[in-house]
Structure 1
Amino acid sequence: MPVWSGFLTPILEVLADGRTWRKRELVGSVSDHVGLTLEQRAEVLPSGQRRAANRIGWALSALSRAELITKPARGAFLITSGGRDSLARFPEGLDERALKTIPAYAEYVPLRAGSTVGAVEATPDAVSDPFEQIETGVERVHAEVAAELLQRMRGQDPAAFEQTVLDVLVAMGYGGTERRAQRIGGSGDGGVDGVIDQDALGLDQIYVQAKRYDQGNNIGRDTVQAFVGALHGVGASRGVFITTSAFTQHAREYAKNVPIRVILIDGHRLAELMIQYGVGVQQRAVLTVVQMDEDYFE
């Protein structure tokens, strides 16, 4: 059976008919396209999921991250113009190395500093320690989820994104036990999209600005300076500026040097926080790893 990357080109070839495919139908057609046997289709993982469906699902996630396919509805897939171009650009087939030449796929960096995820495709021979293999596998899954979270948030309407930002901050523990957070974005918001009360009387408040920007449309110093001005206008001493893109170096330097405490959170960090605090994600599996209990045998 092909590894997950071996399904990349077959998926695009099936989707090249221009139809919107439901996932179950697509898995069956891709399995037919690569000639999987009945025995291969019946193989299951320890989790109970069919191995072929799992690998095709991983390939679908990667193609979506690379914006070679799109999801017009839940559980539905459609090829994009980029997907069609990739079939012509890589006539010998797509693999992960080819995917990394596509900016949308390469955009998201690994969650853990110094990680090798994304630098090499991990295989059992590439990492000697089984525990390290497990950590690398989990990190790869989280990197894919984080990239998809960014795509979804960039497609939200502004009000929904502002609420997502508040949900993340509340999940982190801001807003006190009563979870006091209010969205105030819209026309006439004065440059502030939300406010979080840290106490019941609202004496201690954090103001929030949320910008839903595409990749490459980075936040500059002027925009952060305008947010600082808005904080001055409401007499606030601290604020959080969150975006789905990134901040320029000048913007970060400015935020460090102003008297008001301003925290800048870019898209990568926002996605990491959503995974860490369980906003917009759900638990897929819990793995138990055992080791010898030496005390038992003494």
Structure 2
Amino acid sequence: MSIFKWHEYMLPVLKALPQDQITVRRDLIELVAEATGITEEDRKEFISSGQPTYVSRISWATTYLHRAQCLDHPQRAHYAINDLGRKLQAQFTDEISQNDLTKFAQDHGIQDPSGVARKKLNDEERTVDKQEAELTPTEQMETGLVRLHAGISADLLERLRNNAPVLFELGLPASGGHIIKLLVSFLQVKQGDHDPAQTEQER
């Protein structure tokens, strides 16, 4: 696969924007996609929301550049490179990392483009943080939901193991709820069969 990490699209975005011209977002994405060799196979890769992965990553690269005031945003979905963006491009000719952009912005009196205060991490957390920094915020959120789901699964199984088998088989109240109904609901959510709209109507 030739899809870059999101921050690796920042320099191609700057290079793709014509000088002194405003470019529509969808056209910018296609210019970057062509310049970075996005294939037809790459276009078939999607994030869970249904958006193509390459579109999501190029969009986040564009968003961060705008937050760092390296792109002008005269109207919705329209972008243009400015003097600060050209300076960033000239300073980083091979690749721009998120840390590079943050430091560049701060050196010019602009707050961290991520908008999130960095916290101290222990060695294990620092490793996870480094891995997740390569994901877009959308992908980080999806990863977090997967972890949360896994944690709930483990907790549920542990609770079930601590109940008497007869209660499990009969579906009688245990630990304040009906185990069978809980399992059915849980499995529906896990398999993607749960319909939030239907649940809302049932309330």
Q: Above 0.5 in TM-score?
A: yes
Report the CA distance between 1:287 and its aligned residue.
Answer: 4.8
Report the CA distance between 1:86 and its aligned residue.
Answer: 1.7
1:1-298 equivalences in 2 (<5 Å): 1-102=3-104, 103=106, 104-106=110-112, 110-111=116-117, 115-116=119-120, 126-127=127-128, 287=145, 289-290=148-149, 291-292=152-153, 293-294=156-157, 295-297=159-161, 298=163
Report the CA distance between 1:9 and its aligned residue.
Answer: 0.7
Residues in 1 aligned to 2:92 and 2:10: alpha-carbon distance in whole angstroms? 11
Unpaired segments of 5 or more residues in structure 1?
118-123, 143-285
Change (3 A) 1:36 1:14: same
Change (3 A) 1:66 1:141: farther
Report the CA distance between 1:106 and its aligned residue.
Answer: 3.1
RMSD: 3.6
| Partner amino acid, structure 2, of 1:38 | E
Superposed CA deviations along residues 35-55 of structure 1, whole A, max 9, x for unmatched, are 111111221012211100110
Superposed CA deviations along residues 202-234 of structure 1, whole A, max 9, x for unmatched, are xxxxxxxxxxxxxxxxxxxxxxxxxxxxxxxxx
Change (3 A) 1:105 1:94: farther
Structure 2-normalised TM-score?
A: 0.58
Report the CA distance between 1:60 and its aligned residue.
Answer: 0.7
Residues in 1 aligned to 2:35 and 2:139: alpha-carbon distance in whole angstroms? 27
Number of residue pairs the alignment of both structures matches: 143
Change (3 A) 1:108 1:51: closer
Report the CA distance between 1:65 and its aligned residue.
Answer: 1.2
Aligned to 1:251: none
Is 2:67–2:113's contact at 8 Å kept on the other side of the alignment? Answer: no
Unpaired segments of 5 or more residues in structure 2?
164-203
Residues in 1 aligned to 2:11 and 2:65: alpha-carbon distance in whole angstroms? 10
Is 2:11–2:95's contact at 8 Å kept on the other side of the alignment? Answer: yes
Change (3 A) 1:17 1:108: closer
Secondary structure of the 1:25 match is: helix
Point out the structure with the larger strand share.
Answer: 1
Residues in 1 aligned to 2:138 and 2:31: alpha-carbon distance in whole angstroms? 30
| Partner amino acid, structure 2, of 1:110 | V
Aligned to 2:180: none
